[in-house]
Structure 1
Amino acid sequence: MTFPATLVDLAGFIALLLWGTHMVQTGVQRAFGPRLKSILGHAMGDRFRAFLAGFGVTTLLQSSTATGLMVTGFAAEGLVDLVPALAAMLGANVGTTLIVQVFSLDIAALAPALVLVGVLMFRRDSSSQTHDLGRVMIGLGLMLLALHQLLDLLQDYEDAPSLRILLGSISTLPLLAVLIGAGLTWAAHSSVAVVLLIMSLAANGVVPPNSAFALVLGANLGTAINPLLEGASGADPAARRVPLGNLITRLAGIAIALVALQPIGRFMVTLQPDNALAVAYFHTLFNVATAALFFPVLGPLSRLLCRLLPDQAAADDPSRPRYLDPAARETPIVALGGAARETLRLADALETMLSGAREGLQSGDRRQMAETRRGDDVLDRLNLAIKSYLTSIDPDELGPHDHRRMNEILAFAMNLEQAGDVIDRQLLPHAAKRLKRGLALQPAQQDELLTLMDRLIANLRTAASLFMTEDPRAARLLADEKVVFRDAEANATQRHFGRLRTSSLITAQASALYLDLLRDMKQINSHIVAAAAYPVLERSGALLASRVAEGPA
């Protein structure tokens, strides 16, 4: 086989290794992502728990970059202190070395079985966790297969003069090896895949041990660059503190390791004669030693980062609270007024989502739908901020009226946030499914949907006004809209069934999608009515406990 063909094979197996790594990471994120993020967020109270949380989450995700982006987001939003965030990154750096240790074992024979089991699991219901875990199994199998093929390929060409010349230059220049390793990892977005590739090169004697160790140092540098570039694109310099702190710890550790590379190399070769295992051990030892070195000095490091990257006035972020004054919590009436003003911003954000969803239904613009879905993040963050603010008020300072008003604010915020969830998780995905599958709605169906969307927007504006005025007359009008919506859905459904009986142009998929959209809008309207009308009607005694008529069963 010619050398160009060999390079194609080498590139193909490396691509397969990267793709397997990607499948493992995405599979775990889809199966456990929200729970992992929740665990990570709740464990950031102190540096010890944060270190363990970073270690555990990264062990599952096998991506310190993904963990770094989550931690950076927590710190940028002010949800965690800087010291625990830096500790979580030290734990993440150690956690990402575990899969390298697993793959250093001779388990290549398991690759076909892993792929087979993964495919069987993957072909199950696409919404199930089994589907996502099947993706993980397939990824692990592909990684093992790619490593096995790389070992065979490199074994055949380990004495090729051109390959020796290509890699021989890094033997005498450890810094060059570090830069090459960093560049490969930055491009691949996976230190795991690059370290596994380095192990293959070392196992076949293509690179000497010290050069392999220098390449590993570069891989650790490259994986610290990605969060700095991807997680800190905002204008606030404070958002770059965590990734910059992680990069500083890596640079310091790499500088120390480069100075002592010769004695470290002799020690590692003596400890483990197998070059591939020596690379895996060095990777783990480097991250453990760096964590041990910097864990006691995270306080001074955080203060240095705060001086290097001071806070600055934030831009107009729609998800950032404006009226939740911490000092006002000492005066409940003022605090409740500020919370009510902040809650009205939820109505504005939901109206923006409804308007965007309407435009998406009308125009079929996928970009418009994707932009609209981001509005749910604004609702989630504002709702969380409002709940945290109100629950921090001393209940002993609140009178009966204050308690009632606080509960109304919480109910209004919760219902609007849930309405946003319906738009984000049901209505827009259904609309996107129509575009993806090329399903066409009849003009009459399109007009009915747009009319209902206009009615939703009008009801939301009524709810926002009612939330401030608490007028029982407006509450009755808004509550009647639930009946109107229920009747509109029932009539539209009957007309749709009539069209199905007389027309063969409506497919079963288009029919089911139209009915799903009707139900989604009805559910959104229910949350809007419950947000503002029900509390007022209940207080005035005009709300029945049940719609079921009294009488004998």
Structure 2
Amino acid sequence: MVARGGAVLTFPVTLLDLAGCVALLLWGTHMVQSGVQSAFGPRLRTFLSGALKTRLHAFLAGLGVTAILQSSTATGLMVAGFAASGLVELAPALAVMLGANVGTTLVVQLLSFDISPLSPALILLGVMVYRRSNTQPPRDLGKVAIGLGLMLLALHQLIEFITPYEDAPNLRLLMGAVSTQPTVAVAVAAVLTWVAHSSVAVVLLAMSLAAKGVVSPEAAMALVIGANLGSALNPLLEASSASDPASRRVPFGNLLNRLVGVVVGLALLGPVSVALVELEPSVTRAVADYHTLFNLILAVVFLPLLKPFSALLCRLFPLKALPPDPARPLYLDAAALDTPVVALGNAAREALRLADILETMLSCTRDALDKDQGQRVAEAQKLDDVLDRLNAAIQAYLMRLDHETLGPEDRERFDEILAFATNLEHAGDVLDNSLLPLAAKRLKRGLAFSPEGKAEIATIIDRVIGNLHTAGALFMTNDARTARILAAEKAVFRDLETRATQNHFERMRGGVVESAETSSLQLDVVRDLKRINAHLVAGTAYPVLEREGELLPSRIAGELG
């Protein structure tokens, strides 16, 4: 037991206080990362996608983007998405990861100086900006300032907290194992980094422990090695759940160069730590310099070898020919959930698959209504199950996003994706529950539409398919002009239903039973197609028009009503 402030505290309380300081450090790191991602994420993604021309450019782009985001994981997810879609080759993608690993060291370099007195000012400034700003970018920058202030406060508290416990036998015993066994230090730091999802926080913790003499500089540098190893574990574990082994190339390549660094770093740890402490008397600065040096040397060694290294990874993780399952999500990467801008893009790409499936269902329905093709009804019914499963997967994926990290634009896109996917799924239900039974009824009873009726139904279905294409384009562009064009289709379909109703009544008055029966069936078909078209308008046009202030409670402003 150790006395502090007149009270007798046990070792478990010591660990609780230490855990609280570490938690504050982690939360500050999280605020910085989420604030920067929300403020600059889309622009950084665009910049990164255009900078992957050569290995050197890719390295510098990864360094710069990660220095801003302070998350090599976020940068890795972006470039992994580019590599998976074929937009970038594997070698530049790996170069980005080398740059990202160097980029994470820059904030450690900044915080290695004694700037803890700035903590209250940063927190105050951040709170003022966050509470007084009505627009999102300043509020995001306010979160960044608060996060930096909390990180500085946590580091200061760690040092203040450790001082009374320097001679605590239990703490000395725990840290003694770390100090005397570098491999233990590497393992401990790797596990902490894997749990915390932040190598920056673990490196800063190692600096604090070394500053108070709780661990030796050599042990602190071993902790740095472990933090670099742990930062490569989470992306690989996330990618291991993917069905295609090729998706593991980038994270495994990153882990492999980390492992090489661990082996060489441990072998040279003694002389390197002595040399750095001699060159830099400040232990915290020496640990920060070692962190940067570790990643710079790995980058210099691996950059010229990326081409053969990429070939090796391609042999280890070849593309896998998976059995076809149209209901399997292709783009819902769980690893991207920590980066909202990437995750929302993935969900949007998956939602567009719903439009393709719905188009195939409409084509099947057209064939079943026009020809004696009963198998097309069964085919469309199976596709409705696919539509339902994909929509459920998209919604579950979106619900796993951390809504606190979503800015206004992200929340708006979130709602647009949900509205689009939900309305397409409802349109599929109209097909499955109403239109397809009508087609089956026609086939079962041997009813035949007149040539004019067939042509009219085919024309209307083609018009719905055209509107579905327009809805897909509108979903990607959010163009107000396209939204007005699509919304005007509601009036067109009202006229089509009115004309079909009038034609049905005329046939009824003519007393031709067969003609009346088929015209009734045709009227039901037109009504269902009108309902499907209404879902397309509601899922894409109305959100855009509402944002533009052109959607009134009862109708669209202007002449579209």
Query: In which range does the TM-score fall when normalised by the shorter chain?
Result: 0.5 to 0.7
Residue matched to 2:83:
75
- Supply the AA of the counterpart residue of 2:71: S
Residues 360-371 of structure 1: pairs in structure 2 closer than 5 A: 370-371=395-396
CA contact (8 A) 2:468 2:536 kept: no
- Supply the AA of the counterpart residue of 1:60: I
Deviations for 1:314-360, whole angstroms, at most 9, x for unmatched residues?
Answer: 45467779xxxxxxxxxxxxxxxxxxxx99727549999xx99x99x
Counterpart-to-counterpart distance in 2, 1:372 and 1:26: 19
- Supply the AA of the counterpart residue of 2:395: A
Shift of 1:256: 0.8
Q: 2:149 aligns with which of 133, 138, 141?
A: 141
Residue matched to 2:119:
111
Residue matched to 2:356:
345
CA contact (8 A) 2:419 2:540 kept: no
Counterpart-to-counterpart distance in 1, 2:196 and 2:468: 53
When residues 126 and 245 of structure 1 are mapped into structure 2, their CA distance, relative to the original with a 3 A threshold, is: farther
- Cα-Cα RMSD: 4.2
- Partner of 1:206: helix, strand, or coil? coil
Counterpart-to-counterpart distance in 1, 2:291 and 2:89: 29
Residue matched to 2:415:
425
Counterpart-to-counterpart distance in 2, 1:216 and 1:199: 9
Residue matched to 1:211:
219
- Partner of 1:79: helix, strand, or coil? coil
Counterpart-to-counterpart distance in 2, 1:477 and 1:200: 61
Deviations for 1:228-256, whole angstroms, at most 9, x for unmatched residues?
Answer: 11244211111001111111111111111
Deviations for 1:477-502, whole angstroms, at most 9, x for unmatched residues?
Answer: 9965246789xxxxxxxxxxxxxxxx
Residues 134-283 of structure 1: pairs in structure 2 closer than 5 A: 134-283=142-291
When residues 520 and 153 of structure 1 are mapped into structure 2, their CA distance, relative to the original with a 3 A threshold, is: farther
Counterpart-to-counterpart distance in 1, 2:420 and 2:543: 19
Counterpart-to-counterpart distance in 1, 2:157 and 2:265: 31
When residues 520 and 8 of structure 1 are mapped into structure 2, their CA distance, relative to the original with a 3 A threshold, is: farther
- Supply the AA of the counterpart residue of 2:415: R
Residues 297-312 of structure 1: pairs in structure 2 closer than 5 A: 297-312=305-320
- Supply the AA of the counterpart residue of 1:345: D
CA contact (8 A) 2:419 2:539 kept: no
Q: 1:31 aligns with which of 20, 29, 39?
A: 39
CA contact (8 A) 1:72 1:85 kept: yes
Counterpart-to-counterpart distance in 2, 1:423 and 1:113: 35
Shift of 1:426: 4.0
- Partner of 1:123: helix, strand, or coil? helix
When residues 462 and 224 of structure 1 are mapped into structure 2, their CA distance, relative to the original with a 3 A threshold, is: same
Deviations for 1:139-170, whole angstroms, at most 9, x for unmatched residues?
Answer: 11110110000010112211222111111012
Residue matched to 1:524:
540
CA contact (8 A) 2:354 2:421 kept: no
Q: 1:290 aligns with which of 286, 290, 298?
A: 298
Shift of 1:73: 2.1
CA contact (8 A) 1:118 1:135 kept: yes
Counterpart-to-counterpart distance in 1, 2:325 and 2:85: 14
Deviations for 1:341-385, whole angstroms, at most 9, x for unmatched residues?
Answer: x99727549999xx99x99xxxxxx978824969xxxxxxxxxxx
- Supply the AA of the counterpart residue of 1:234: A
Shift of 1:461: 5.6
| TM-score, with length taken from structure 2 | 0.63
- Supply the AA of the counterpart residue of 1:176: V
Counterpart-to-counterpart distance in 1, 2:48 and 2:226: 27
CA contact (8 A) 2:359 2:468 kept: no
Deviations for 1:506-550, whole angstroms, at most 9, x for unmatched residues?
Answer: xxxxxxxxxxxx99955735799xxxxxxxxxxxxxxxxx979xx
Shift of 1:44: 1.5
Matched, 1:481 2:490: yes
Counterpart-to-counterpart distance in 1, 2:460 and 2:540: 10
Counterpart-to-counterpart distance in 2, 1:13 and 1:191: 16
**Runs (5+) with no aligned partner, structure 2:** 332-352, 363-379, 400-410, 436-458, 470-484, 496-533, 545-557
Shift of 1:79: 1.9
- Partner of 2:88: helix, strand, or coil? coil
Deviations for 1:164-188, whole angstroms, at most 9, x for unmatched residues?
Answer: 1111012221111111110110111
Shift of 1:313: 1.1
Counterpart-to-counterpart distance in 2, 1:123 and 1:132: 11
Deviations for 1:45-93, whole angstroms, at most 9, x for unmatched residues?
Answer: 2211111111011101111122122222221222210000000000000
Counterpart-to-counterpart distance in 2, 1:223 and 1:68: 11
Counterpart-to-counterpart distance in 2, 1:282 and 1:477: 60
Counterpart-to-counterpart distance in 1, 2:468 and 2:415: 29
Moved more, 125-134 or 75-84: 125-134
Counterpart-to-counterpart distance in 1, 2:355 and 2:299: 46
Residue matched to 1:512:
none
Counterpart-to-counterpart distance in 2, 1:260 and 1:527: 60
CA contact (8 A) 1:485 1:522 kept: no
Residue matched to 1:408:
none
CA contact (8 A) 1:59 1:99 kept: yes
Counterpart-to-counterpart distance in 2, 1:422 and 1:64: 26
CA contact (8 A) 1:25 1:61 kept: yes
CA contact (8 A) 1:463 1:478 kept: no
The percentage of counterpart residues that share the same residue type is: 50
Counterpart-to-counterpart distance in 1, 2:535 and 2:169: 69
Q: Point out the structure with max Rg over C-alpha.
A: 2
When residues 124 and 264 of structure 1 are mapped into structure 2, their CA distance, relative to the original with a 3 A threshold, is: same
